Structures are given as C-alpha cells and as structure tokens.
Amino acid sequence: MTSNSHDNQPGPRPPGHEQTNIQIDRVHYRVHTDTMTGEQLRQLVTPPIPMDRDLFRVVPAGDDVKIELTDVVALRDGMRFFTAPARINPGRWRIHDGAHD
C-alpha cells in the first residue's frame, strides 16, 4: 500500500479534525481541509491527473459521481475516488450468424 501525505489549506478544518484520509485510484492521501475542488483533487496525484481522464467519487451501493474541475467536494474520512478514460472508444462487435461456414 502506498501512502502519500499532502498538505492543502483551501478550507478550514473543524476543531479536533486535523486531517482527512481519502483515496484516489487506491493510493492514500491525507488532506488538511474539509473541502476541495475537482481541480485541487487532481493536483494531489503526482503527476497530476491529466485532462484525458475523468475523476469520479465512489458511491457505495449507488452510481459513482463524476467530479468536474469546479465542483466543490465536502471531504469525509475514507472517501474514495477513481479515474477513468474521459473518452472511451466503442468497440466493434462482429456477429457471426453461421451463414458462411
């Protein structure tokens, strides 16, 4: 397991909450803020998440949520994010009907 520590100061922390532990693509990060934008989350990763990948927040037992650059995310301890290609090229399916065997 990889663990990285990152100090970010965009939002105030409530008393008694020194850090929030989150994961992006299964890598652990500690942040010292209660909110971050999509752009700030992308910058946590080294190198930063490129624009040809989308960032999603994992929603247990629900649909994952795409995080846009300007979206403000209220962080909770244990929150998980993942990236995926921004554009997925559809594959070609060939249906074999057996007529030309």
- pLDDT tens by residue, 15-71: 555 799 999 999 999 999 999 999 999 999 999 999 999 999 999 999 999 999 999
- For residues 79 and 91, give the distance between their C-alpha atoms in angstroms, rounded to a whole number: 32
Which of 38, 40, 31 has its CA nearest to residue 13? Answer: 31
Q: DSSP character for 85?
A: E
DSSP-derived letter for residue 5 is: E
Question: Is 98 inside a domain boundary?
Answer: no
CATH number for the domain including 65? 3.10.20
Domain count, the chain: 1
**Cβ atoms 55, 83 nearer than 8 A:** yes
Residue 101 lies in a domain: no
Q: What is the extent of the structural domain holding 44?
A: 3-8+18-85
In a domain, 91, yes or no: no
Nearest-Å Rg of the Cα atoms of the chain is 18
Cα end-to-end distance, the chain, whole Å: 51
What's this model's pTM, rounded to 2 decimal places?
0.72
